[in-house]
Structure formats: structure tokens, C-alpha cells
Amino acid sequence: MDLLPHPLLPLRIPILLHRSDKIKEASGMSIYSSLEKFLPKKYTKSVEQNLRYAGLELDAREFSGFTFFFSLNIALLVFFILEILGSETLLLSLVGALLSFFLSMAVFNLLLIYVADKRASFCERVLPDVLLLTASNIRAGMPPDEAFLSSAREEFGPFSQEIIKAGKKIMSGHSFESAFGSISENIKSKKVESSIMLILDGIRSGGEIAKLLEETANDLRSMESLQKIVSSNVRAYILFIFFAAGFGAPLLYGMSTFLIETMVKLGKTVELPEVTVPGAPSFLTSIRFSSINVDPEFFVHFALGAMTISSFFGGIAMGLIEKGSQKAGVRYIPTLLLLNFLIFFLVRKVVSSLLSGMAI
């Protein structure tokens, strides 16, 4: 069984490398910890919780300060790029910088949530195996705490790390129930939490632990099989949304924006005559068609914005259908965005090449 990869591992490097030892020695805190003061306390608490769920042993204040520092630099970079490229107004550059700042902050949080969800999914998959192994150890004559600690295998990845942490708590004097119950505090999974609570309730009521663990493991596997059946049944809906948002939308937007550009060019080059309607009322006897006076770039920008919005909500809808969670659809958004932009510009290029022989 593959261990869970850690996509946020590179984020630990800049935090450790860019730490200012001199400032920390003088003031007792790092540069990033001091920058955290500019952020709301609620945000730092949310980051602390997500770091714990993601299994990252990083200081929440330091991580929050790093994201603030990084996002601020991105915003300044975007601002100067827009100014160098000749932005129409200073306000437009400021809005672009502000949007890039919040987007960068959101990306860091989404990465944390993504890692936490992947970690929780991994723990949910291995939980039945952990429970069955613990039950077999108990039937072999081990006490519950030893049987539980012996189930910490390397192939169980993050869950084995939580078992080791619980074992350390038991060794330091905590009860088995307290240590075992603390596992759900570091894993963002309702399934893990409810399973642990069910086992603890059974232990308190005097039930046979080995039998209880085996029954819980079998129930979890039955639930997993049922979830796979449901996922296969709704896969057609997911594919429909994916093709509609990823292929249909950019294809139509690409052709329509090219058509608008063509009509505008024709309107500027072709002289439209005055049309006389005999027998019509006086105010309709003479009709003059004016040229199309619209900016094609506006429709291109509108199409790009509309595709971005449809990709976002399309990914969210796919996550809701597949996993029952909006956060599960975040992983589809980059793919949909990439497909939208590639197909949009490719369609415009292909149509333009095919019709390049027309005299416009």
C-alpha cells in the first residue's frame, strides 16, 4: 500500500530557510510570527486546525505569517507588472493586486484543506485493517493498549503515526479511552470519529472488545462497498458536467467571440446603404443601418470570466455528486480551467486559420 504523498512538503523549506535568527533571538519570535499580527485571530485558529488535520507539525502563527508575506509579495509583483504594461488607471492596478493577494491566500488554505482531506480519506481506507489487526492481537492474548500499539504498521501511513502518538499518551499516564479517543481530533473524518466513539461506548458498556472491533471493521467495509456502488451510478452525471464545462463552453465561446470580431470588421469595411420602404409610414420610409459599434475585446474578457466561473462551480458540483462535499471538487477546478483556456484559444486559432482566405 502506497504511503500518502505530502504535496505541502516544499512549504516547509521556505519557512525554515527564511527564518531570521537574529530577530528571533532579540524579540523571541520569527519574522513570520510578527507578520501574523496583521491577520485576524480567527484565521490563525483555522490555519492551526487545518495544519493539525494535515499532519504538518508547523507553528500556525509562523505559517500564517509566511502566507501573508508571500501573498503580499505576489500582490506587489502584480501591481508593478500592471503598471509597467500600461494599466488604464491606478485603481485597476490596485484591484488586480488586491485580487491576487486574496487569491494567493486562498490557494494556501485550499492546499491545506486538500492535504487534510487526502489524509482523512487514506485513514478511512486503512481503518478497517487497523481494527481487524487490533482484534486479532487481542484474541492472541494481548491487552487492548498493547494490541492497539502493535497495529501501527508502516503501510498504514498517517494512521500509524496517530497510533504512535496515542501510545505515547498511554505511556505518559493517560487512560486507553482518552488516548484512543484523541485520534479523531487529528483526522478530519466523520467516519473515523464515529467509529472511535462507537468502540469507546462499547468498551464502557463492558462489551467484548475484539468482537466489537471486528464488527465495526466489517460495517466500515460494507459502507465503503456501498459508496463505490453509488459513485459508479452517478459517474454519468459527473462526466456530463465535465464535458459541458470543460469542452462545450469553451467551444461555443471561442466560435461566438470570433463571429463577433468578424461582424465588427465587416461592419467597418462594408458601406451599408439606405433602404427605402414604399407605402410605409413616414417615419419608416427610410431605414439606415448603422455599423456595429462594439469592442470585441470586451466579449473575449467576458468569455474568459464566464469560463472561470463555470469551471469553479462545475468542479464544486462534481465534488458534491461524487463525494458529497464541495471541497472534494476543488481538485477538478485547475483541470477545467486549463481545458477551457486551451480549447477557447485553440478554437479561435483554428477558425481564424480556416477562414483566413475570406476578404474582411
Q: What is the pLDDT of residues 315-327, one digit of tens each?
A: 999 888 887 777 7
- Give, for 101, the enclosing helix (H) or strand (E): helix 90-139
Span 97-125, average pLDDT: 89
Domain coordinates of the chain in residue numbers? 9-117, 121-232, 235-354
Q: What band does 72 get if pLDDT is binned at 50, 70 and 90?
A: very high
Q: Would the CA dihedral through 141, 144, 147, 149 be positive or negative?
A: negative
112 vs 28, higher pLDDT: 112
Query: What is the overall mean pLDDT for the chain?
Result: 80
pLDDT higher than 90, residue 283: no
pLDDT higher than 60, residue 8: no
Q: What band does 70 get if pLDDT is binned at 50, 70 and 90?
A: very high
174-189 pLDDT, tens digit per residue, is 887 888 888 888 888 8
pLDDT higher than 60, residue 153: yes
Q: What band does 276 get if pLDDT is binned at 50, 70 and 90?
A: low
Q: With b meaning 16 or more CB within 10 Å and e meaning fewer, what string describes 167-181?
A: beebeeeeebeebbb
DSSP bridge partners of 288: 274
Q: What band does 292 get if pLDDT is binned at 50, 70 and 90?
A: low
How far apart are the C-alpha atoms of 47 and 64, rounded to whole Å? 7
pLDDT for 60 equals 87
pLDDT for 360 equals 46
Percent pLDDT > 90 in the chain is 12
321-345 pLDDT, tens digit per residue, is 887 777 778 888 889 999 999 999 9
Residue of 274, 261, 269 whose CA lies nearest to 291 = 269
pLDDT higher than 50, residue 91: yes
* DSSP one-letter string for 185-238: GGS--HHHHHHHHHHHHHHHTT--HHHHHHHHHHHHHHHHHHHHHHHHHSHHHH
Q: With b meaning 16 or more CB within 10 Å and e meaning fewer, what string describes 312-343?
A: bbbbbbbbebbeeeebbbbebbeebbebbeeb
Q: Name the pTM for this structure.
A: 0.69
pLDDT higher than 50, residue 5: no
Contacts of 113 (CB under 8 A, 6+ apart): 50, 327, 330
Span 154-172, average pLDDT: 85
